[in-house]
Structure formats: C-alpha cells, structure tokens
Structure 1
Amino acid sequence: MGTRPTDRRLTPAGEVVMGVEEEFHLVDLESRSAVPRVPELLDELQALDGEAFAPELKPSIIETNSQPTSDLADLRTDLVRLRGMLANIADSHGLGVVGAGSVPLIDGSAEGITPSPRYERMRDEYQMLAFEQQICGTQVHVDVPDRDAAVAVMQHSAPWLPVLLALSSSSPFWKNEDTGYASSRTLAWHRWPTAGPPAPLRDAADYDALIADLLASGTMSDPGMVYFDMRPSAHQATVEVRICDASPSVDGVVLIAGLSRALVRHGVRAHVEGRPMPQYRPELLRAASWRAARSGLEGDLVDVPGRDLVPPSRAVRLMLEHLADDLDEAGDRDVVEELALEALARGSSAARQRQRANRNGNLEAVVDMLLAETRGAPDSPVDAPVSETVAPVLLGDYAPPAYDEAVAEDGTVRPAYSWLISTLERIGPPGLLVHEKSRDAEQRARGMVFPQADDDERLFPLDLVPRLITPGEWETLTEGLIQRARTCEALLQDLHGERACLHDGVLPEDALRWLPQPHETAMNLHPGAVRALVSGLDLVCDAAGEWKILEDNLRIPSGIGYAMADRRVVRSVLPELQAPNGVLDADEGPAMLREALLACAPPAAGHDPVLVLVTEGTTDSAHFEHRMLAEEMGVPLLTPGDLRAVAGMITVAATGRPIDVIYRRIDEEVLFSAPDAEGVPLGDPVRDAVRTGRLTLANAPGNGLVDDKGVYPFISSLTEYYFGEKATLAAVPTWSCADPEQREYVLSHLDQLVTKPVDGYGGQGIVVGPYASSHELDEVAAAVRAHPAAFVAQETIRISTHPTFTGTTLEPRVVDLRAFVVLAPTPTVLPTPLTRVAPADSLVVNSSRGGGSKDTWILR
C-alpha cells in the first residue's frame, strides 16, 4: 500500500509534496450491496494505470493512489481522474463505486478476504478483526525531511487528528443497522492492537524500537501493520495521516489533504526550531477520537489542548487558527477555509446518510446517494450549489408581508442565512417533522413546559429554525442595551432619592402611577444597592430592518433559562445545523448571572456570600426556568416556606445558614405575605434584613415604578438627562394618555395604534388597532377616557418576520427579542437572548397568548 514514491525533501518554507490513498467499496447496482468483485476489475484498471490501483484485504474494496503533487488543485484533478476511471470500468460490470467509511448493505459473499499470503496470515492470526474489516479510509502522505521529523510531526499533530476524523465521518451504518456513531469504521479499526492515537515517542530510533518490540511480541506480523492514526511511512520519507473515513466528496478529501499538509508543515517547523514535543495523555487522545467517531460534525468535540468540549464549528476554527501560518505559506488558506466552512454548513456525510434513510425509509436510497456523490454527479448535494441540487420546497411560496430577516423583497435568501436555508432545504419537510417529534420528546424529558390554564403540561413552543444575529448587529445592540439598562437604573435611584427628574420637568409626575413612600421596602435599600440588577429589554426590528426598544422589564424578567434550553434542544435534535463560524455560547449565561448576583451581596456578607433562588413553586408557569437556573448556578431553589427569619436575618430553614442574596423569581407581594418555615409572615423580617444591610433582594422591590409603560415614552430623553448621551437604540414612538394633547391624538387614531395598559404584562389588555373590531375600539376608548394615566399607545410598526416551520413549508412569523442585561460587577449583556414568535396573523409574541420561541444564534 502507499502513494507513488517521490524524491522531494523540502524545508517548511518550500513546497511540500503530498499524495492520497482512497479506498472504495464496490456495490452491485441492483442489490446496492457490497460484493467481492475487485479481482474482475483489477486487470483492466492496472492496464490503464498500473501504479494507481491496488487490491485490499477485502475483495469488495479497492484502493487508488494519486500522483504526488504540491498543488491542491492538481490533487483534486487527479482524484477526479482516478474516480472516473474506476467508475467507468465498474459500470461496465454492473457495479458502482462508493466512497464512505462503510457501506450500509453487504453481500454475504463479501465476508471473505483477497487471496494473498499476507492477507491469509492476517486472517488466520486476527480472525474476527479480519472478517469485519469491511471498511474504507482515506490516507494522506506528506513529505518530511527525515524520519526524526516524521516522529515530531506525529507528536505535534496528535491533538488535532480527531478533528480530521469528525470532518470525514461517513460510516453510520453497518450490516443494515444504524450504529449510533458517525464513524463506526473507527470502532472497527481501533480493535486492531496497533491502531489508535500515535504513541508518545522521542525520535525515529524510539519509534523503531517500539516496532521491534511489537514484532517480537507477536502483536503484529509485519511493520506494515502499524495502524496508528498517523505514522511514518514504512518505505518512503513521508508521514501518513490514517485516521479519516473514506469520503464520498472529492472536496472532502482535498480539505483533509490541505489540513494534513499544514499539520505536517507545522510539526516540521517545530522540529527544525527545536521546540519541545507536546505531552498529552494517550487516554485523552483516544477519548477525543472516540468522541469524534460518535459525534462527527453533529455534536461536541474534545478540544485536546484546551481540555474541554466545544462545538464542532469551534473545534474546526481552533484548528484553522492553529495552522493559519502554515496554510498561508502553502498558499492553501483560502481554499481550505472555504472548504471547511462548506463542510460545517453541509454537515457530515454520516448525518446526510441518516437524513436520507429517514426520508426514504430504506438503506438502498442511502447507497444511491453515496454512489451519486462519489461519482460527483451534477445533482450531488456535496459538489454542487444548493440552488442547483434542491428545489426550494420550504421557501417555494414564501411571501413576507414586510421586512423579513432571512428573505429579501425579491425572494432571494439574505447572505447570512444562505447556509442555513440550504441545510434546511436538504433536510426537507419530512425530515423536519421527524426532528419535531424528537424535539417534543426532548422537551418532555427535560420538563420544559410553560403551563396554561387549560393545559398543565403544555410544552414551551419551540420552532427549530434558529434566528441569526450578526456580529455587527450584536455590537450595536450591546451598546444600546447597556445604555438603556443604566438609564432605567439611574431613574429608579433618582425616584427613590432626590427625584431630580421630576423637579426639573424631564419626567412628568402624571406618568407615574405611584411614588414610593418612606415606609416602603424599596425606599430602604442599603447604600450602593443596585435596584435593577437584571433587566429584560424587549426589542423589535422595523420595516427598515432597524432595531427598536419595545418594552422594559425590570421586576422579575423571565426567559434566560428558556433561551438556554432552546439551544440545547435544537443542538440535540438538529445536530446537522452548525453555524460556519460558530455562535456565542448560551451556556455561559448562568455563570455570568451568578457572578452579577454575588457582586451585589450586602457589605455584611463577607467573602463567601450565600445565594439562593426563591420561587413561588411548581404553580409558577416559569418554574422550569427557576429550576434550571438554580441547577446551572449551583444554588438552592427555595420557596418562602423553605426560609426562616432569625435574629434580623433570613436563613435557609434546613441548614440555618444565613442568606446574603435572594435571586427573587417571585412577586414581591407574594413573598412578603408568605409565611416562613415557622409560619411567621416574611414581610417585616425581609424588610428589616434589607434595610440593615444583611440581605440583598435582586431585583429590588419597587422596580415596577419604572417598568410601567407610562414611563416608557421618556426613557430616551432621560438618557440624555442623566448621562449627556443620545440614545443608541431608538424607541417605538409612544404616546402617554396621561397627557391631554397626546390622549386626544390617541383617541382619534385608535384604529392605527397599539393601546396598552401601563401595568400590563404577558400581552394582557393589548389592543392592536388595525386588527381590532369596532366593539373592541369602543371599549378601549371608554377605558382611556375613564382612566387616562392607565394607558399608553404605540405606533403600529411593521415588525420583522422570520421563517418558521409550519409542517410543510417555511412561513413568515412576527418575532421580537428579549435581551438580558446585568449591571454588576460590570454592565454586560448575557449571551442568552430569547426570540419569541407570534402565532399566524398576530403581532403578540407572549407565550401566554399562544406565542412560541426560537433558538437565537449570535454569530461570532
């Protein structure tokens, strides 16, 4: 075995020659099963190119050897040439060629071996390992200056080899069964006693001594049976990358070859410069290979240098960054990065095979797909653009009423969404329906419910099509959201203190439903206390694609846990969706929230504050989120009955430990009126503990003063008043009915405006003028006249829509965004925004009004 010899031995700065061995299954075109008919083809193939084709252990598998080259384009051309020659000869015998780690269907006669003294010796010695070696791989040979350099390359490359396996994974099926692995070939391959990650070696002499020991032990019968994932060639001055599955796509092989050569260049440079070899535990390397074989590109991978699990997009990006200089010097960076991003957007061959099996209900369809991809047929989803391969089934009749975030006015997909829509089109409606069943099962398993009056076990509605926010958008939003939260906090502090904004006429007192009194808890926080530590700010995109603030939620804003859960469910049931450049990690949100809560501990807390989350209990519709956040932050989840008031403190009843910070996910009136573990009402003890600096309530009581929509129209002007800054994010035009002139305008334009009660929440009491009946408009007009200060009205803006799966197609649905800001220790926007989705023909996104949600991807 091995590519054609070359005498190039060049420095890292020069050209480095490479070659590729590809292994292919032969399948019968009628049965689609692998068949042992390589001997029939071999003479004809070797007559065409004697050095290019060779038999393998199994007579149903044939190997091709490319010409040595230093150019990826030339390599691709030669791979296409060899595949074409093989396919043409196979066609004439009623056979097809499959490039994949395994083929789903295997003829019983294919279980023998190719007649050869070496192979027969392997059969006799290794028995089952030889019988089950119905697997194909791709090997890349790259020139190195000498064998010492080859050993150094092995050591420096070892932590990155599992990423190559994930990129190439193409063997999910074995003998008619789904193995549950993206690369079942790796499981079979690693049974051989000399297979797996490279051994930790010092130099060529150390390597040779190891081989001698293995031969002496009888573990292997010849040096060619060293099956390390990377090894020095037994007969050339090259190093071989052997970890990868065979690939149906030529571009997939070119990507692996480009990355392999960059790894070799990197290792040779390190060797020449005398850098020490990295040390990694063999067990961790093997675990990383197992994880790549299990996950492919559809699940987390092990970042060996960082010793962490990361999304596949992150793992690939880390590898590209690690090899950037080497790719640049080889002139391969643009090509390799483009192919890598395409691979991530497309997903692994293993995932595509499963999709085809699910869609068609049989494995013959999977073989047909692999035959087409291997041959590079025009309709192959691997080597041709989606626009040429898949009819736009999901977007066939897509007609957004206004600005749509994914689809432009002319019906074309916006650039940021092209890879996402392409992936969804490939999955298709039947595939998405299957994934929705998995979604429901996953949500039930997680207890991810949002109960309604008529359904105690209602699942939190989740559409599987994620929403994308570009880095530029997120940067602008971050600046504006922090500014908005700081303004709301400054206003709360002012209204509970000097009330300068009222004295200076910036905020009319009529806009407030009440003013805090000296005896109220909200007036008696310890100095320096943050009142609105966690803000939930609702935004919408208008018809011009501009972001606008819609509402401020400063009491007990919910949604962080649901945003995190959405991400986990989508990642679990739709692993083929992976953003090319990765997304911000929503799982970081709880740690950031915990840090913010502990930063607000009162002065008496000391160096180890005690934090708890207090909930009303399972009767709260958001209890799933309360439980999830408590678990993620590693803090107790308590109800009022789990607390005890003792000696001016609030303690955990079960342990007696004083509590320093309560993350309050319970209405303040409910908390104050509830009895503690001894039946003592909590109101006065909690107020005393807050007043004396023994307890922090987050968020503070009384935040509804600014949370009320009556204050909303004045926030932008208050930003300039407090900070001398123009508001970064515009607000939706809003009229206060407490003002006589504005009230008259509202009453004369009710059919054009959205009228809201200032203390409403969950979408309650909202009347959308353009969609309201005459009777509804008359009722709201009477209510406004009777209690003007109780209402505001907002302009009915054309809110952006987003593609949402409806069972057969994608349809536009109105969406908003709830983003979460914490003000301590440093003002920060959490990477956990929640996208909410309105039902069909509605502008109201609230879950209590039938709305749903989407996973929100903040692109890196």
Structure 2
Amino acid sequence: MVPGAGAVVERAAARLGSRVSGEITTLHVETRTDPTSSVRLLLEQLVQARRVVAECAAVDGLRIVATGTPVLAGATSPPVTRGPRQDLGTATFRGLHDELAICALHVHVELPDRERALLVSNHLRVHLPLLIALAANSPYWEGRDSGYASWRSMVWPRWPVAGPPPRFTSLAHYERVVQMLSAAGAVVDPGTLFWDVRPSVSHPTLEVRVADVPVSAQESALVAALVRALVVRGLEAVDRGDHGPEVAGEWLRAAYWRAARDGLEGALLEAGTGRLRPAREVLGEVVDWLAPVLRACGDEDLVRGWLGRLLVVGSGAARQRAAAGRRGRLADVVDFLVAQTVVDERLPA
C-alpha cells in the first residue's frame, strides 16, 4: 500500500470531475456514479471510473485494487488525511482509526421522504447478512488469512455507531436516538452515523453501506440492482402499512458473523427459524422474490446472468484465496486484484 491518493485524485478529477475524491486515508481513492435508473449505464460509469483512476495511478508507477481489505502487511495505522473534521474524528475514535484500511460499496436509492426511508430500512435489516455474503471480498488482513470471507465486516462494527441500524418506528424516534448518540459523544457529525443502512446525510436517498467493495465493476452493478429491488419491495410493504419485521439484535449480530465468516460459499442464519441454510439457496429464493421488480426495471436477465457467472467463479474472497493457493504467494493475490479491478465489462449496446 502506498499513500499516493492525493496526486491520483487530482489527475482523475480533471477527467471525472466530482465522480472521484479522496477518503479518510491517503491510501484510498473513492469513485462515484451519477444518478441513473439504468443498471447498464451504471456499469458503464463504474468501468470508466476504474479505468481512469488506474491510468492516473500508473503515472506514479502505482496500481489500484478493489478489495475490502488490503492483502499484504501494513494495514494498521494508515496515514489519515488532515483537516478539522478528520482531526476531531481521530481525537474521538482514537485507536479505531488504526484499522481504517478498508473499502466498502455504498448504494444510494432515491427516497427523499426520510420517514418512509427509515421504515424501508426496517425491511432491509433482515437482508443485510445476505448482502455481506454476496459481496464478501476481504479474506486477508496484515499479510495473513483471517479465516473470514469478509474481515472488513468484522473490523467496521467496532465503531460506536456502525453495523445494522436499530428498528425505527418513526422519524421522531430516529432523531431521538441520534440526539442521544450525539450527547454521548459517539458521533462527530451526522456523517459518522455509520449504520449499514441510513438516510443519506447529503442526498435525498436511502444509503446501503454493508457490502465490501467487489473485485469487479460488474459485481458492484449486481449489488446495486439487488439493493434497488429490495428497496422497492420495502416501499411496497410500507405503503401497505407494514413497518418492518421485529428482528432481534442478537440474531442480526450472529447472522452478520456467520455471513462474514463463510460468505457466499457457506451458510446463512435464517430469520425466524434460526436454521442454517446454504447462502446460494437463500440467494436464489430472494432473487425469485425480487423477480417482478427486477423485470419491471429491465434488470432480471442481467441480474440472473451475472449471478449465474458469480456462482460459477465464486465470491471475491474465494477467488483471492484461489490466487494465493496456486503458488502459496500473497503477492499473486495482489496481481489478481490488479488485473480484475480494471477489466472492461461494459455491455454491448
């Protein structure tokens, strides 16, 4: 890892504008997409942004990798960017900033009514472990295999306001909880409400932040398509007067752990019954349930095709481990990620 994000972002911004920026450490480059209702256009933007950033990094002899955690040693005490907000964050969270070398995928779905957004988030909570398993892409930490498919999902919830959100009954309930957390000093500002589903601080959207950044742009587009469909299903339920299931916090904690440990190749804890079921089986059932929404959005064939491919090649975590296993070298994992991060996956017109 090299703290070279500043120069890379500066070059990339000349071509991508506001679609690229720095992040909390100088190891990170963040790319964004413009709002779109088309998954095809979303994929084009993702592919373009990765290609541009890679070209701008190459000027300095650097390469970019899309991974939830870095593979090689040197992840702890990453160089944090400076500024009043960052300095306050370091003073507040202290040693937690020593493990900020992690990368996630954030999906925004337009939902300007914040009360409805919060009620929809209640419906999404039960599906968060499945999204963790689907996008699991962080098996390594500090040069060793963590034994988890998504180690990032274990690192991130250490923050005082992170992981799955509470079940909110109303906007007033949400604001009371936020006020209590602020009074406790657990947040620096609204942007540090790090729940895995939250009303966006700066956009009229519901933001889903639970997934590792996937290896490929195509997998990012797949997660986005599924998240949009889950939000639409949640909206349908809210509009029928259903404000979301009562999902116990201890179930969610165990379900998160199981999904993060075993990923797409393992088993998930089923809500309601508490049974363990193959993640692929649960995924298939959820996609079938979402099929009418995916079809209405024009996404069903794409999603099923992408999922079929993913189930053949395996999760990002499985592919990282396969790359390491060929010669027993973690450097081969880095080479694999470099090659896969900027594959041109745009669809034919």
- Give the TM-score of the pair, scaled to structure 2: 0.95
Alignment match of 1:61 (pick from 13, 16, 28): 28
Query: Would you say 1:176 and 2:168 are equivalent positions?
Result: no
Helix, strand or coil at the partner of 1:278: coil
Aligned twin of 1:214: 181
Residue 195 to residue 306, structure 1, CA distance change in 2 (3 Å): same
The Cα of 1:305 is off from its aligned counterpart by: 4.4
Report Cα offsets for 1:517-571 as digits up to 9, x if no partner.
xxxxxxxxxxxxxxxxxxxxxxxxxxxxxxxxxxxxxxxxxxxxxxxxxxxxxxx
Alignment match of 1:264 (pick from 209, 215, 231): 231
Q: For the residues of structure 2 that align with 1:345 and 1:315, how far apart are their CA atoms?
A: 16
Helix, strand or coil at the partner of 2:101: coil
Helix, strand or coil at the partner of 2:45: helix
Q: For the residues of structure 1 that align with 2:272 and 2:295, how far apart are their CA atoms?
A: 22
Aligned twin of 1:87: 54
The Cα of 1:328 is off from its aligned counterpart by: 2.2
Q: For the residues of structure 1 that align with 2:32 and 2:313, how far apart are their CA atoms?
A: 27
Query: Would you say 1:334 and 2:301 are equivalent positions?
Result: yes
Asked whether the 8 Å contact 1:172–1:183 carries over to 2, the reply is yes
Residue 112 to residue 197, structure 1, CA distance change in 2 (3 Å): same
**Aligned-partner residue type, residue 103 of structure 2:** C
The Cα of 1:234 is off from its aligned counterpart by: 1.1
Higher helix share: 2
Q: For the residues of structure 2 that align with 1:142 and 1:374, how far apart are their CA atoms?
A: 24
The Cα of 1:343 is off from its aligned counterpart by: 1.5
Q: For the residues of structure 2 that align with 1:224 and 1:333, how far apart are their CA atoms?
A: 34
The Cα of 1:335 is off from its aligned counterpart by: 1.3
Where does the alignment leave 5 or more consecutive residues of structure 1 unmatched? 1-33, 378-382, 385-860
The Cα of 1:58 is off from its aligned counterpart by: 1.2
Residue 40 to residue 110, structure 1, CA distance change in 2 (3 Å): farther
The Cα of 1:366 is off from its aligned counterpart by: 0.2
The Cα of 1:325 is off from its aligned counterpart by: 2.3
Asked whether the 8 Å contact 2:162–2:196 carries over to 1, the reply is yes
Query: Would you say 1:282 and 2:249 are equivalent positions?
Result: yes
Residue 109 to residue 126, structure 1, CA distance change in 2 (3 Å): closer
Aligned twin of 2:157: 190
Alignment match of 1:203 (pick from 162, 170, 193): 170
Aligned twin of 2:114: 147
Aligned twin of 2:336: 369
**Aligned-partner residue type, residue 347 of structure 1:** G
Helix, strand or coil at the partner of 2:219: helix
Helix, strand or coil at the partner of 1:334: helix
Helix, strand or coil at the partner of 2:235: helix
Aligned twin of 2:17: 50
Mapping for residues 240-319 of structure 1, pairs under 5 Å? 240-319=207-286
Q: For the residues of structure 1 that align with 2:61 and 2:190, how far apart are their CA atoms?
A: 37
Q: For the residues of structure 2 that align with 1:166 and 1:352, how far apart are their CA atoms?
A: 14
Q: For the residues of structure 1 that align with 2:253 and 2:291, how far apart are their CA atoms?
A: 26
The Cα of 1:108 is off from its aligned counterpart by: 7.4
Aligned twin of 2:289: 322
Aligned twin of 1:853: none
Mapping for residues 682-761 of structure 1, pairs under 5 Å? none
The Cα of 1:106 is off from its aligned counterpart by: 4.3
**Aligned-partner residue type, residue 328 of structure 1:** R
**Aligned-partner residue type, residue 349 of structure 1:** G
The Cα of 1:275 is off from its aligned counterpart by: 2.1
Q: For the residues of structure 2 that align with 1:312 and 1:107, how far apart are their CA atoms?
A: 32
Mapping for residues 396-545 of structure 1, pairs under 5 Å? none
**Aligned-partner residue type, residue 332 of structure 2:** A
**Aligned-partner residue type, residue 144 of structure 1:** L
Moved over 6 A (4+): none
Q: For the residues of structure 1 that align with 2:75 and 2:144, how far apart are their CA atoms?
A: 15
Alignment match of 2:102 (pick from 135, 145, 153): 135
Q: For the residues of structure 1 that align with 2:165 and 2:297, how far apart are their CA atoms?
A: 25
Q: Which has the larger radius of gyration?
A: 1
Q: For the residues of structure 2 that align with 1:157 and 1:352, how far apart are their CA atoms?
A: 28
Asked whether the 8 Å contact 1:138–1:245 carries over to 2, the reply is yes
Q: For the residues of structure 2 that align with 1:107 and 1:41, how far apart are their CA atoms?
A: 20
Larger RCO (CA under 8 A, 6+ residues apart): 2
The Cα of 1:145 is off from its aligned counterpart by: 4.4
Helix, strand or coil at the partner of 1:35: coil
Q: Aligned residue pairs: how many?
A: 346
Asked whether the 8 Å contact 1:113–1:131 carries over to 2, the reply is no
**Aligned-partner residue type, residue 265 of structure 1:** V
Report Cα offsets for 1:580-612 as digits up to 9, x if no partner.
xxxxxxxxxxxxxxxxxxxxxxxxxxxxxxxxx
**Aligned-partner residue type, residue 213 of structure 1:** M
Alignment match of 1:165 (pick from 132, 145, 152): 132
Residue 109 to residue 261, structure 1, CA distance change in 2 (3 Å): closer
Asked whether the 8 Å contact 2:54–2:64 carries over to 1, the reply is yes
Aligned twin of 1:750: none
**Aligned-partner residue type, residue 197 of structure 2:** M
Helix, strand or coil at the partner of 2:138: coil
Where does the alignment leave 5 or more consecutive residues of structure 2 unmatched? none
Q: For the residues of structure 1 that align with 2:203 and 2:167, how far apart are their CA atoms?
A: 21
**Aligned-partner residue type, residue 95 of structure 2:** M
Asked whether the 8 Å contact 2:75–2:141 carries over to 1, the reply is no
Helix, strand or coil at the partner of 2:30: strand
Q: For the residues of structure 2 that align with 1:321 and 1:304, how far apart are their CA atoms?
A: 18
Q: Which moved more, 1:351-360 or 1:183-192?
A: 351-360
**Aligned-partner residue type, residue 306 of structure 2:** L
Please, what is the CA RMSD of the aligned residues?
1.6
Q: For the residues of structure 1 that align with 2:178 and 2:153, how far apart are their CA atoms?
A: 22
Residue 110 to residue 44, structure 1, CA distance change in 2 (3 Å): farther
Aligned twin of 1:353: 320
- Give the TM-score of the pair, scaled to structure 1: 0.39
The Cα of 1:55 is off from its aligned counterpart by: 1.1
Q: Which moved more, 1:85-94 or 1:322-331?
A: 322-331
Helix, strand or coil at the partner of 1:261: helix
**Aligned-partner residue type, residue 49 of structure 2:** L
**Aligned-partner residue type, residue 325 of structure 1:** P
